[in-house]
């Protein structure tokens, strides 16, 4: 079992749609969680950190379920510019800085 698993997609959605991405992690002691966005031929960029209480940033909502070891990202009112690969990232509780990346979920938003 991979340490961080994501549905690779691709997700093809029309503009304005709501889309949800899921991610599961295997290390129950993991301490921090993030969603990154990566555009084609570019470096990953932090989209949002994920907090236990859930957090929202505009059209984006991230949630963490520690009991189920599950993280989600919800995008509302999808825009063409949301087309990218979304990476689920977990920082294990190993005392170091090495994060574990999911393979990413590709999203295509179409007009």
Partner 1 sequence: GAVVSQHPSWVICKSGTSVKIECRSLDFQATTMFWYRQFPKQSLMLMATSNEGSKATYEQGVEKDKFLINHASLTLSTLTVTSAHPEDSSFYICSAPSLAGGSYEQYFGPGTRLTVT
Q: Which residues bind partner 1 (CB under 8 A)?
A: 32, 34, 38, 41-46, 49, 87, 89, 91, 96-99, 101-104
Cβ nearer to partner 1, comparing 27 with 38: 38
Between residues 16 and 54, which has the closer beta carbon with respect to partner 1? Answer: 54
Find where tokens 């304005």 sit: 16
The CB-of-78 to partner 1 minimum distance in angstroms stands at: 22
CB-nearer residue toward partner 1: 17 or 49:
49
Give the nearest distance from C-beta 25 to partner 1 in angstroms. Answer: 15
- Backbone angles phi and psi of 82, in degrees to 5: -80, -10
Alpha-carbon span 46 to 63, nearest angstrom: 16
Give the Cα separation of 89 and 12 in Å (integer).
Answer: 22
In the complex, the smallest distance separating the C-beta of residue 1 from partner 1, rounded to whole angstroms, is 16
| 23 within 8 A of 72, measured Cβ to Cβ | yes
- Taking the C-alpha atoms of residue 27 and residue 81, their distance in angstroms, rounded to an integer, is 33
């Amino acid at each position: 079992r991979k340490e961080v698993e994501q549905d690779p997609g691709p997700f093809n959605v029309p503009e304005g749609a709501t889309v949800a991405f899921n991610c599961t992690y295997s290390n129950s002691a993991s301490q921090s969680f993030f969603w990154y966005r990566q555009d084609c031929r570019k470096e990953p960029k932090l989209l949002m950190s994920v907090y236990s209480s859930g957090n929202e940033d505009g059209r984006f909502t991230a949630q963490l379920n520690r009991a189920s070891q599950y993280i989600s990202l919800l995008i509302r009112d999808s825009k063409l510019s949301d087309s990218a690969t979304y990476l689920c990232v977990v920082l294990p509780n190993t005392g170091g800085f090495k994060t574990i990346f999911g393979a990413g979920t590709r999203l295509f938003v179409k007009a």
